[in-house]
Amino acid sequence: MATVYKKSALLSDVPLHYCPGCTHGIIHKLVAESLEELDAGGKAVGVAPVGCSVLAYNYFTCDMVEAPHGRAPAIATGLKRALPDGMIFTYQGDGDLAAIGTAETVHAATRGENITVIFVNNAIYGMTGGQMAPTTLPGQVTQTTPYGRDVTTAGFPVRVCEMLSTLSGVAYAERVSVDTVPNIRKAKAAIKKAFETQAAKKGFSIVEVLSTCPTNWGLSPTEALEWLRQNMMPYYPLGVYQDRTANEKGVF
């Protein structure tokens, strides 16, 4: 009988702790498949964040390091400097990457640190129960913006890909979404390209994945996907924000 689908060997056989309808599972799968297709699992070291995906170290079967909140790019930097031929990636949420870890993110990017960042943006702090994130939309209701995010007091959401694309060290930055099958395919291609960018030592690569949080958004999984399309995509347009991979030496 022909095999039409097989779970990636880069994913372990344990139950995931994610909520029903959460898109982390899809994104894990895309990361694992991309590494596997590039035959990079043996030299991969992943860095898990603090946030919903904190337990990612149990889900990927490559070597893993669990980071303090926001510090994953610094840890990935240490790993990469020690293992220049390793495939080093971080997997981070919006609070981890764009709030408490902003400095680590920006400076790893501007150094052209040859690592890959998988950035899962769902516009909310999930693990702590739905507080405002740096990417929470204006007017969006969360536990700590009960009247909706008021930009006059809580400021504006951070557009990470747009911001990082201004930095000379960024070889590749793309924003994707996992709301539909075609978009999932595009997300997979972007993640794989990010790893290829690293393998070719072309500089910092980041893929921002728009993701849902049905539990904390208070929506059903399908409503959440629709909410993502209606609200997040206009503020966070999908697309390639930086691509210096055609240069032979990448960003350098």
Partner 1 sequence: MSERVLMKGNEAMAEAAIRAGCRHFFGYPITPQTEVAAYMSKKMPKIGGTYLQAESEIAAINMVLGAASAGVRAMTSSSSPGISLKTEGISYIAGSDLPCLIVNVERGGPGLGGIQPAQSDYWQATRALGHGDFHVLVFAPSTVQEVVDLVFLAYDLAEKYRMPALLLSDGLLGQMMEPVSFPDPVEKFAEKPWAANGHQNKRPHNIINSLYLKPDELERTVVERFARYAEIEAAEQRYQEYLCDDADYIIVAFGATSRVSQSAVDTLRAQGIKAGLLRPVTLWPFPKDAIRAHIPHVKSFLSVEMNMGQMVDDVRLAVEGKVPVEFFGRTGGVIPRPSEVVEAVMKVAGGDR
Distance in Å, CB of 70 to partner 1, minimum: 9
Nearer to partner 1, 41 or 174 (CB): 41
* E-strand stretches of 80-159: 87-93, 116-121
Looking only at residues 147 through 176 of this chain, which bind partner 1 when binding is defined by CB under 8 A? none
Does 19 bind partner 1 (CB under 8 A)? Our answer is no
Instruction: Check if the beta carbon of residue 79 is closer than 8 Å to that of residue 86.
Output: yes
Q: Based on CB atoms, which residue is closest to partner 1, 55 or 151?
A: 55
Binding characters for partner 1, 45-84, by CB under 8 A (x = yes): x-x------xx-xx-xxxxxxxxx--x--xxxxxxxxxx-
At 195, list the tokens.
């790893």
Would you call 43 exposed, middle or buried from its count of C-beta atoms within 10 A (0-12, 13-18, 19+)? middle
DSSP letter (8 states) at residue 236? S
With tokens 């129960």, the residue in question is: 129
Q: Provide the minimum distance between the beta carbon of 157 and partner 1 in the complex, in angstroms, as a whole number.
A: 23
Tell whether residue 99 is a contact of partner 1 (CB under 8 A): no
Other Cβ atoms within 10 Å of 10 Cβ, number: 22
Return the number of the residue (76 or 176) whose C-beta is nearest partner 1: 76
Q: What is the DSSP letter of 145?
A: B
Residue 133, token pair as written in the block? 């994130």
Binding site for partner 1 (CB under 8 A): 41-45, 47, 54-55, 57-58, 60-68, 71, 74-83, 86-87, 103-104, 106-107
